[in-house]
Amino acid sequence: MLVAFHAGEVVGQVAAVIHRHPDKPTELYIDEVGVTPALQQQKFARRMLDELLALGKALEAWVGTEPGNGPARGLYASHGVTAEPFVMYVLKL
């Protein structure tokens, strides 16, 4: 997990997990990228994501977002990748 500070307060976070699979290469799963609404679009998310990707540079990384989340999709696309088709199941426990 990485956090962003502004004026002495935490204003953003990026959380990730290294998945070590028995049947495929180890990967970096980016679980959450978030910035307080008042400071969005000020490069906090980009700087945190870039730092996280630098830390995990030997791994393949993946992240998901909602189809209508334009800012997140723009951030991820700016790294030169395109969205993959994805199927998600939500299990109510």
| Spatial distance between the Cα atoms of 27 and 17, rounded to a whole number of angstroms | 8
Q: For 7-25, how does the pLDDT look when each residue is reduced to its tens digit (9 = 90+)?
A: 999 999 999 999 999 999 9
Number of H-type helices and E-type strands within the chain: 2, 4
CA 60 to CA 63: how far, in whole Å?
11
pLDDT at residue 43, rounded to an integer: 95
Sorted by where each starts, the structural domains of the chain and their CATH numbers stand as 2-77 (3.40.630.30)
Cα–Cα dist 38/11, whole Å: 9
pLDDT tens readout for residues 39-91: 999 999 999 999 999 999 999 999 999 999 999 999 999 999 999 998 989 99
CA distance between the termini of the chain: 27
Alpha helices in 1-93 (DSSP H): 44-55, 70-77
Confidence at residue 46, expressed as pLDDT on a 0 to 100 scale: 96
Place 6 in a pLDDT band, splitting at 50, 70 and 90: very high
